[in-house]
Amino acid sequence: MSTYRTLQSLNDCNYANVIYGNATAQSACAVENFIVLPQADCAKYGKKKCILHNPKTGGTSLNDIFNDNPNIYRAVGHAFTQNNDNEVVVIRNPIERFKSAINFMRYSGFRHNTKYLQNFTTFVDMMKNTSLEKLYDEVLNRDLVFTPQLYWIGNKSTILCYEKGLENEFRDKLNVDVKFPKLNTKDNCNPSEDRAPTEEEREFYWKDSDAVVNQVVNHFYKEDIEIYNQKC
């Protein structure tokens, strides 16, 4: 399984820097495994564009639009990159993607694996009572929506930037004209089973959280940040 290791200072669990590599850490606190899926089956489609579903980047809308498109194949589920030159992936600002994933998991009634989130009314309150290790154990390694985006990004991928507008990105980078329905940029819950939080609920939950969110994202998604800053 793909893993990442923290760079330790004086043999403690200092989470200031993160590197990706093999699971050869010196102590249990230094190894964390995100959920990793099989690779996509894009190779068999040759030059036909193959869109990978990176969670919390408008993938549900992409699936609806390109489900029967003769020139674009939607890879099954959330399968990871196979490093083929026909792959297309949408990436999102890591901070906004992380917040969207938290919102989604707090309001998705069928996802009980992160019920720890329900113990706190705000993110700041949770992190006052939750170490980075515990956040990982209770939340981040329990659902695919928190897996770093890098697993969907191949060396040959066409990368579309969520914040630049998907219609613009498809036109400019793939020469595909398409109209998207209004995307729920915050949560994208399934209205038949769940509900998305209201704007007031979101504002309350994330109030005064910028500093601690940056700390969490800079720790767990350092490479995602580097990729996003480079590509978008």
User: Which of 5-14, 23-32, 126-135, 170-179 is predicted most confidently?
Assistant: 126-135
Task: Provide the 3-class DSSP secondary structure of residue 155.
Answer: coil
Predicted pLDDT at 125 = 97
Q: Kind of pairing, strands 49-52 and 72-74?
A: parallel
- pLDDT value of residue 31: 39
Phi-psi sector, 8: left (phi>0), alpha (psi -120 to 50), beta:
beta
H/E run at residue 50: strand 49-52
- The pLDDT score that the predictor gives to residue 56 is 93
pLDDT at 15 over 50: no
pLDDT recorded at residue 35 = 82
Residue burial 104-123, b: 16+ Cβ < 10 Å; e: rest: bbbbbeebeebebbeebeeb
The rounded Cα 65 to chain-centroid distance in angstroms is: 21
* pLDDT tens-digit readout, 174-230: 998 888 766 554 455 444 456 677 889 899 999 999 999 999 999 999 999 999 999
CB 146 within 8 A of CB 56: no
pTM of this prediction?
0.82
Q: Taking all residues of the chain, what is their mean pLDDT, rounded to a whole number?
A: 80
pLDDT at 6: 36
Query: Angle 210-220/94-107 helices, nearest 10 degrees?
Result: 100
Residue 41: enclosing H or E segment and its boundaries?
Answer: none
Query: What does the pLDDT read at residue 137?
Result: 87
Categorize the per-residue pLDDT at 30 as very low, low, confident or very high, splitting at 50, 70 and 90: very low
Q: Are 58 and 64 in contact (CB under 8 A)?
A: no
Do the Cβ atoms of 140 and 220 come closer than 8 Å?
yes
